[in-house]
Homo-oligomer: A and B are copies of this chain.
Amino acid sequence: MTKWVYHFGAGAADGSAALRDLLGGKGANLAEMAALGLPVPPGFTITTEVCTHFYANGKTYPADLEAEVEAALTRLGEIAGHAFGETNWPLLVSVRSGARASMPGMMDTVLNLGLNDETVEALAKIARNERFAYDSYRRFIEMYSTVVLGLEHHEFEDALEAYKAARGQTLDTELTAEDWRKVAALFKEIVEKATSRPFPQDARQQLWGAIGAVFSSWMNARAIIYRQLHNIPENWGTAVTVQAMVFGNMDDQSATGVAFTRNPSTGARELYGEFLINAQGEDVVAGIRTPQSITEAARRAGGSERPSMEAALPQIFAEFRAIAQRLETHYRDMQDMEFTVERGRLWMLQTRAGKRTGPAALKIAVDLATEGLISREEAILRIDPLSLDQLLHPTIDPDAKPAILASGLPASPGAAAGEIVFDAAEAEKLAAAGRKVILVRVETSPEDIGGMHAAEGILTTRGGMTSHAAVVARGMGKPCVCGVGAIRVNYEEQSFSVAGRRFSKGDLITIDGSAGRVIAGAVTMRQPELTGEFAVLMGWADKARRMRVRANAETAADTRAARRFGAEGVGLARTEHMFFEGERIVAVREMILADDAAGRRAALAKLLPMQRADFQELFEIMSGLPVTIRLLDPPLHEFLPHSDTEIAEVARAMGADPAKLRQRARELSEFNPMLGFRGVRLAVAFPEIVEMQARAILEAAIAAAAVTGVAATVEIMVPLVFGRPELDFVRAQVAATAAAVTEETGLTPSYKVGTMIELPRACLRAGEIAQTAEFFSFGTNDLTQTALGVSRDDAGAFLGVYSQKGILPADPFVTIDQEGVGELVRLAATRARAERPGIKLGICGEHGGDPASIAFFESVGLDYISCSPFRVPIARLAAAQAALGKTATSTA
């Protein structure tokens, strides 16, 4: 018989951390902590399998669940010494969600469950605090009613405001026990009016209502969006943990807090967290009261007057510090813990691997390995390669010395600039239109997720380092500044004021998430230093990986950046990018307008010296490393103007007949340019272009060698072939040019000729093509377009729908479609190697910078991956992880 319910508490547990899939992160870790003998309020977890059953059977439960829950409640009562539903000594519980992966704030929670008109009186007696009891009761009624009964928060908030207004009160703290009792009564009336039945008084009815609500919240809109953003499968489901309540808000010897075993922002090895005396956990997380530091050191660093936990509750602090240390050692990773102190007694409510910034993840992994807690391989596997992106983002140039507008908490590092926007939905809209925005909010809520993802950075005026905005921004790697109290937001006027200035929607600001600063306008940024832990981990990764990492680059700036980021060559230099600048485009257009090969040759002769100079610079920058140069690829109409105005302008500038220009543009225009007259097809039709490009490449190689003293490693790549004859044709052309260059210079530049494999037919004919090609580079962008029949430029119209309806698991232009495109790549590799063992195989599509795709390329045994320069470190780490046999996943 399937076991649906797992008990924990009193030094024992049915489950353990190993049962994360079944019990969720929270449930598994509570079981683990209980088994370790740590002080955990007793409880039980209903498994994720119940969730699966729930959705598979029209939101009903397994038949035997109720009996198991009853048994667990009985055991809970035995440990607590009083039973659930007992009226004179109430056992209150919390009901929480807990999925395999952390989804903070996405699903529903109900606290203080078990309170009713009778037990609230009992609670008041036991706590010797009537005000606390009725405050708890009215909170419970509001929470239960919104989560389980579907009422809106504002219905309760409005009633409370009206109640206070009628009495001339403004702060909650002014309300007495009697007030709260009246408010609770008011709240019950609201429920009865809305639902046509009284607020449920039966504890078991309350419990099952809450369990159902938590399971249902797995499919709420924000949870769905969160899963999509984080690639969490829907079928994982959530567990539900029911746990005895402890109260951090009973008195001044009560407290609640959250803490990390290391600094989640910097990775520094220091206990790091916040707490509030006489508060419930939600008060810390919600950011409504600004919390106090856990340690004295942090308090001093933050310049706070209010006492740290270390000073205020020294014994509890010592106990907590020891537990934190034990948990980190036990889990071999930085922990994120929640705790409550009830009347001087410490209770651990949760522990989990802590979310951290990219730099912190790096430092923690390197430190843990240096401390001997984990191996270097584990350190490599601990870092989500995509998180390195944060390290590679620009920071504010210290020399810029910008005037600081306001300061707040450095909630998530990195700097960002953009237009001010006050609404998450609008942030999404503007970002979709290509605008860069900074989302400015008093505080953020789970509903804002989409807008936070779309924004360059987030600024809030309230809340601390563990507020919603801070936690989510760190997870996303977005710069974030929190709690900037000096800024006053006026949502209605869509503006904020600070230091006597007014900023409106659309005005530019810069935020520095590392320093917690806000600056007016857009500020000069600086590239990050790639040293310290980054260099250490990269060094370990480079030793662990098998695949080489190259960059897609053709400009001197990009190529230099690529080499600085550790690229081991250029995997794709797009020669056409060199065709667009200044006078070059004029010569290119002359070539296109020429009536015959002689006319084209004359125009190409003008391009030759420019291309040669470009290539020479590339070879010099990448001296000692291979450089793959792709011959002209795009259709020629891309170089021509199209609108009548542009045509007239260009014709005048180049002294050409506008009619002829228009005519040629019309002749060259295509229905499906992606499948048109481009790539090797241009080379076959206009061999003189190959002739010029081959000459430029080979002469540049000779010139670069003369400068550097090292022979250039030249790889000439032919795009868009679908069979060997095309490649033979171009190869012969290149060979003839090489022979001419040798005759003229007396030097024999060495070079290889290879091809992009970017059409399905090329994959099928790979064996034959490999008879001629000395290397392959998979062009997985175009291969995805042709294999799936999806134009990347037009896919927006339906890929979204495909994702929503679950037809495509991931965007195939981001992560390679292993089942389709992947099979073609594998098949091509196999066939090519059968004909030419040891043929060099690489990939230069966008997938070259995607960790999941890189894991696949490792499995195919490609020799190298090539990606954009800023992705090179990501690719190096992902390649190492792939070599260690693990696909990249987040550490969170």
Residues on A lying within 8 angstroms of B by beta carbon are: 668, 670-677, 681, 684-685, 720, 722-723, 725-726, 729, 758-761, 764-765, 782, 785-791, 793-794, 797-798, 801-802, 805-808, 817, 819-821, 823-824
B782 and A819 within 8 A (CB): no
Q: How far is the CA of A805 from the CA of B685 in the complex (A)?
A: 9
B671 and A794 within 8 A (CB): yes
Q: How far is the CA of A675 from the CA of B759 in the complex (A)?
A: 14
A794 and B729 within 8 A (CB): no
Contacts of A786 in B (CB 8 A): 675, 760, 786-787, 789
A722 and B788 within 8 A (CB): yes
A820 and B790 within 8 A (CB): no
Please pick, from B672, B677, B805, B820, the residue contacting A675 in the complex, using a CB distance under 8 A: B672
Contacts of A674 in B (CB 8 A): 671-672, 675, 789, 791
A798 and B722 within 8 A (CB): no
Chain B residue nearest in CB terms to A667 = B797
Known contacts A675-B794, A722-B788; A684/B764 CB under 8 A: no
- Supply 21 A–B pairs (Cβ within 8 Å), ascending by A: A670-B797, A671-B674, A671-B793, A672-B785, A673-B794, A674-B789, A674-B791, A675-B785, A675-B789, A681-B797, A681-B802, A684-B805, A722-B788, A722-B789, A723-B819, A725-B808, A759-B788, A759-B789, A760-B787, A761-B789, A761-B821
Chain B residue nearest in CB terms to A670 = B794
Q: How far is the CA of A786 from the CA of B672 in the complex (A)?
A: 11
Chain B residue nearest in CB terms to A676 = B794
Contacts of A785 in B (CB 8 A): 672, 675
Contacts of A765 in B (CB 8 A): 819-820
Most buried by B among A671, A674, A681, A760: A760
A723 and B764 within 8 A (CB): no
A820 and B760 within 8 A (CB): yes
Contacts of A788 in B (CB 8 A): 722, 759, 761
Contacts of A684 in B (CB 8 A): 798, 801-802, 805, 807
Chain B residue nearest in CB terms to A759 = B789
Instruction: A671-B794, A672-B673, A759-B787 given; name 8 further pairs at CB < 8 Å.
Output: A672-B794, A674-B789, A677-B798, A681-B797, A723-B807, A725-B808, A761-B820, A764-B824
Q: How far is the CA of A798 from the CA of B677 in the complex (A)?
A: 6
Smallest CB–CB gap between A691 and chain B, Å? 15
Please pick, from B723, B805, B823, the residue contacting A729 in the complex, using a CB distance under 8 A: B805
A817 and B761 within 8 A (CB): yes
Q: How far is the CA of A806 from the CA of B785 in the complex (A)?
A: 28
Q: How far is the CA of A823 from the CA of B760 in the complex (A)?
A: 11
Q: How far is the CA of A798 from the CA of B675 in the complex (A)?
A: 11
Q: How far is the CA of A758 from the CA of B789 in the complex (A)?
A: 9
Contacts of A675 in B (CB 8 A): 672, 674-675, 785-786, 789-791, 794
Contacts of A794 in B (CB 8 A): 670-673, 675-677
Chain B residue nearest in CB terms to A686 = B801
Known contacts A674-B675, A684-B807; A722/B764 CB under 8 A: no
Q: How far is the CA of A681 from the CA of B668 in the complex (A)?
A: 29
A726 and B807 within 8 A (CB): yes
Please pick, from B668, B726, B791, the residue contacting A672 in the complex, using a CB distance under 8 A: B791
Q: How far is the CA of A228 from the CA of B764 in the complex (A)?
A: 27
B685 and A798 within 8 A (CB): yes
A823 and B787 within 8 A (CB): no
Contacts of A824 in B (CB 8 A): 760, 764
B729 and A807 within 8 A (CB): yes
Contacts of A807 in B (CB 8 A): 684, 723, 725-726, 729
Please pick, from B797, B806, B823, the residue contacting A764 in the complex, using a CB distance under 8 A: B823
Contacts of A760 in B (CB 8 A): 760, 786-787, 789, 820, 824
Contacts of A681 in B (CB 8 A): 797-798, 801-802
B676 and A820 within 8 A (CB): no
Smallest CB–CB gap between A729 and chain B, Å? 7
Contacts of A823 in B (CB 8 A): 764
Contacts of A761 in B (CB 8 A): 787-789, 817, 819-821
Q: How far is the CA of A805 from the CA of B806 in the complex (A)?
A: 47
Contacts of A723 in B (CB 8 A): 807, 819-820
Please pick, from B673, B782, B821, the residue contacting A671 in the complex, using a CB distance under 8 A: B673
Contacts of A726 in B (CB 8 A): 807
> Nearest 5 CB-CB pairs, A to B?
A761-B820, A675-B791, A672-B791, A760-B760, A671-B793
Most buried by B among A685, A782, A797, A802: A797
Chain B residue nearest in CB terms to A674 = B672
Q: How far is the CA of A722 from the CA of B671 in the complex (A)?
A: 22
Contacts of A759 in B (CB 8 A): 787-789
Q: How far is the CA of A782 from the CA of B670 in the complex (A)?
A: 17
Smallest CB–CB gap between A152 and chain B, Å? 27
Q: How far is the CA of A606 from the CA of B292 in the complex (A)?
A: 68
Chain B residue nearest in CB terms to A727 = B807
Q: How far is the CA of A791 from the CA of B824 in the complex (A)?
A: 21
Q: How far is the CA of A760 from the CA of B784 in the complex (A)?
A: 10
Smallest CB–CB gap between A831 and chain B, Å? 11
Q: How far is the CA of A668 from the CA of B817 in the complex (A)?
A: 26
Smallest CB–CB gap between A470 and chain B, Å? 38
Chain B residue nearest in CB terms to A820 = B761
Chain B residue nearest in CB terms to A768 = B819
Most buried by B among A681, A794, A817, A824: A794
Smallest CB–CB gap between A666 and chain B, Å? 13
Known contacts A675-B674, A726-B807; A685/B789 CB under 8 A: no
Smallest CB–CB gap between A595 and chain B, Å? 16
Q: How far is the CA of A677 from the CA of B798 in the complex (A)?
A: 6
Q: How far is the CA of A802 from the CA of B673 in the complex (A)?
A: 18
Q: How far is the CA of A720 from the CA of B806 in the complex (A)?
A: 18
Contacts of A720 in B (CB 8 A): 789
Smallest CB–CB gap between A231 and chain B, Å? 17
Chain B residue nearest in CB terms to A822 = B764
A676 and B791 within 8 A (CB): yes
Q: How far is the CA of A782 from the CA of B786 in the complex (A)?
A: 10
Smallest CB–CB gap between A635 and chain B, Å? 9
Contacts of A820 in B (CB 8 A): 722-723, 760-761, 764-765
Smallest CB–CB gap between A234 and chain B, Å? 14
